[in-house]
Amino acid sequence: MEKTFFFELITPSKSLIANDFDMVVVPGAEGDFGVLPHHCNLISQIRPGVLNTHKNNKIDKSFFIYNGFAEVSDNKLIVLSETAFDISEFKLNIYKDNISKYEKLKNQTKSENEISFYEKKVNEMNTTIEILS
């Protein structure tokens, strides 16, 4: 019996990782869940959090994911997320600068759509900082 399964993390712009792993722990909407080889079929919404891949009983890589869906079927896990990145790439000062930029842009517009967009981005950035700091 196989001891690994295929995992792929996909964003709208690229595939961040596609490889075989022993286990992947996903921040599901109902709580974290671990996927092992031959896991039963599952579809779950994901919440903001850290997704960990495991090889040889150790964390191999860690990714921040903001939202999206996870699907397990046929000994593979596919996670689709609008926002995802390797946590080693997280730079707190860039996120703080972006929050200031979006707050400034929000205050300069009268368009409800733009205000809503900037508020969503600020909330996303604050959530990311809160989880990763």
CATH number for the segment(s) 5-87: 2.60.15.10
* Distances 123 to 84, 92, 119, 126 between C-alpha atoms, Å: 16, 15, 6, 5
Percent of the chain exceeding pLDDT 70 equals 99
The pLDDT mean for the chain works out to 95
| pLDDT tier, 1 (very low <50, low <70, confident <90, very high otherwise) | low
Q: pLDDT, tens digit, for every residue of 92-115? A: 999 999 999 999 999 999 999 999
Q: 34 Cβ partners below 8 Å, 6+ apart?
A: 23, 24, 25, 26
Amino acid residing at 48: P
